[in-house]
Amino acid sequence: MNVRDVALVGGTTTKFGVRPSTWAELAQEVGARLFREMPELRAEDVDSLFLGAAEPERFAFQSHVAPLAAEQMGLRPHRIIQRTELACASGQSAIRSAYAAIAAGLSDVAVAVGVEKMNLPSMAEANTSMACVMDRAWDGPHGATAPPFFAMVAQRHQLEYGTTEDQFAAVSEKNHRFANSNPEAQFHEKTFSREKLLRLPIVAPPLRLGDCSSMTDGAAAVVLVAADRAKKYTDTPAWIRGTGQYSDFHNLAHAGSLTEWTGLKHAAREAFGRAGVGPEAIDFAEVHDCFTVSEIIEYEMFGWCPPGQGGAFVADGQADIGGKVVVNPRGGLLGCGHPLGATGIAQAVEVYRQFARKAPPARTVPDPEWALVHNLSGSANVHSVMIYQGGSAA
């Protein structure tokens, strides 16, 4: 069977943050923005909708969310309508599913949208929902949430490689600085020097507040089309060239080494193999910096630096503009916030904007051709990778 080429031809996000909006209102808002910013997109052209949403049952007390999102956005999908749930990678899962459907000829024009509402009046209730991402019955009763798990990852990375708090802060400083040029970022107006970051309170030792992404409300949407339709929507599409995924374990007892993420290596090998390029070809990457240590390990697992050298890599500016690979020019999860289902979509929006030369100068990647998007989910037990190539419409 022939696999069709698939282009990402546009997208947008709402403002991320603590929003005075319900889940459904965020879906309406992103729909309104999408059609406003893509006047050539007609609702009746959209044959399929893929919704990334991690925990609407917990955070919004709502199931059957894909048709709800379609109605909010003014869409009547007539080929495929479905929700994808993969915790923190729910958004990328929606894009992957749309990609698969278009490549297989089951869809021609699909919207992948991510919506998450996380800030509730009771933060303890919100934290309870976050804890359901882990193995709820066995790890949950101990108080397992993401911060203490990734804190243990950071502790082991410090022990095994001598990584310092200052190197963790270098990740956070870089991503917050990029977020200063992203008006949709949750922390757009806030500046964080390394010194300031190192004075923030400890959340889960050794991680401080600035090492952790936040609870965020937001939505994002992208449009994916078959190659022969790309020209109708844009002259600067982002072509999906490779994708890979790997599910390694779930219960924390099976995490193995906390500092070597073999699942990420497997997913990356698959994605690079399909794209026909290696890590050295990547000009910029949107990777999953749910915690500062995550981004440091990701440099190592993707092969941009040797194992254990991620801290030095970022402190040396190698993940910054002018470095070996620009990592998280959008501002990352640390700067933008992390509305679970919307994050993976917003990362793809950044890929489109960089290729279309629509990013503000302070975060513009010079002449990009190849981009990579990565999400981990849960306790880094699942990894999802996509590789995009810029270029003209067919």
Partner 1 sequence: MSSEPRPRRPGPILAAPVPPPPEAPLPPVRTRERRPFLLDFFPLESSDQTRLSRFFDRLKEGRVSTTRCPKDGLLHWPPRTACPQCHSEELEWVDLPEVGHVYAFSAVLGGAPLGMEDEVPFAVGLVDLDGAPLRLFGRIEGRPWTELQIGSAVRLESFDIGDGRYFYRFRATDP
Burial profile 178-214: b = 16 or more Cβ within 10 angstroms, e = fewer: bbbbbebbbbbeeebebeebeebeebbebbbebbbbb
For partner 1, the binding residue among 51, 226, 258, 333 (CB under 8 A) is 258
Q: Which of 157, 188, 266, 338 is catalytic?
A: 338
Closest contact distance (angstroms) between CB of 151 and partner 1 is 3
Quote the Cα angle for 346-349-355, to 5°: 150
- Asked if 125 touches partner 1 (CB under 8 A), the answer is yes
For partner 1, the binding residue among 42, 78, 136, 232 (CB under 8 A) is 136
Closest contact distance (angstroms) between CB of 362 and partner 1 is 32
**Hey, which residues between 314 and 333 contact partner 1 (CB under 8 A)?**
none
Concerning whether 88 is annotated as a catalytic residue, the answer is yes
Site size toward partner 1, by CB under 8 A: 48
Closest contact distance (angstroms) between CB of 27 and partner 1 is 24
DSSP letter for 364, please: P
Closest contact distance (angstroms) between CB of 262 and partner 1 is 8
Closest contact distance (angstroms) between CB of 349 and partner 1 is 28
For partner 1, the binding residue among 151, 197, 314, 380 (CB under 8 A) is 151
Closest contact distance (angstroms) between CB of 136 and partner 1 is 7
**How many contiguous H segments (helices) and E segments (strands) does the chain have?**
14, 12
- Asked if 337 touches partner 1 (CB under 8 A), the answer is no
Q: Position 365: which residue type? A: V
- Asked if 199 touches partner 1 (CB under 8 A), the answer is no
- Asked if 248 touches partner 1 (CB under 8 A), the answer is yes
- Asked if 144 touches partner 1 (CB under 8 A), the answer is yes
The tokens 């339709």 sit on which residue?
A: 229
In the bound state with partner 1, the residue whose beta carbon lies nearer, of 139 and 320, is 139
Residues in CB range of 278: below 8 A, 6 or more apart: 272, 303
- Asked if 384 touches partner 1 (CB under 8 A), the answer is no
In the bound state with partner 1, the residue whose beta carbon lies nearer, of 78 and 254, is 254
End-to-end CA distance of the chain: 21
Residues in CB range of 387: below 8 A, 6 or more apart: 240, 241, 242, 243, 271, 272, 274, 275, 277, 282, 370, 371, 372, 373
For partner 1, the binding residue among 18, 104, 202, 362 (CB under 8 A) is 202
- Asked if 383 touches partner 1 (CB under 8 A), the answer is no
For partner 1, the binding residue among 73, 115, 204, 385 (CB under 8 A) is 204
For partner 1, the binding residue among 20, 121, 143, 322 (CB under 8 A) is 143
For partner 1, the binding residue among 82, 128, 164, 309 (CB under 8 A) is 128
For partner 1, the binding residue among 44, 137, 361, 366 (CB under 8 A) is 137
Distance CA 372, CA 356 (A): 16
Distance CA 27, CA 179 (A): 23
**Sole window of 16-24, 46-54, 262-270, 383-391 interacting with partner 1 (rule: CB under 8 A):** 262-270
- Asked if 141 touches partner 1 (CB under 8 A), the answer is yes
Give me the helices (H) in the chain, please. 23-37, 56-59, 65-73, 90-103, 123-131, 146-161, 165-179, 194-197, 230-233, 262-275, 292-302, 310-315, 332-336, 340-355
DSSP letter for 321, please: T
Distance CA 363, CA 177 (A): 9
Q: Which residues pair with 81 in a beta bridge?
A: 49
Distance CA 310, CA 98 (A): 33
Provide the sign of the torsion angle of the four alpha carbons 387, 389, 390, 394, taken in this order. negative
Residues serving a catalytic function are 88, 338
Residues that bind partner 1 (CB under 8 A): 122-125, 127-128, 130-131, 135-145, 147-149, 151-153, 155-156, 159, 201-207, 244, 246, 248, 251-255, 258, 266, 269-270, 273
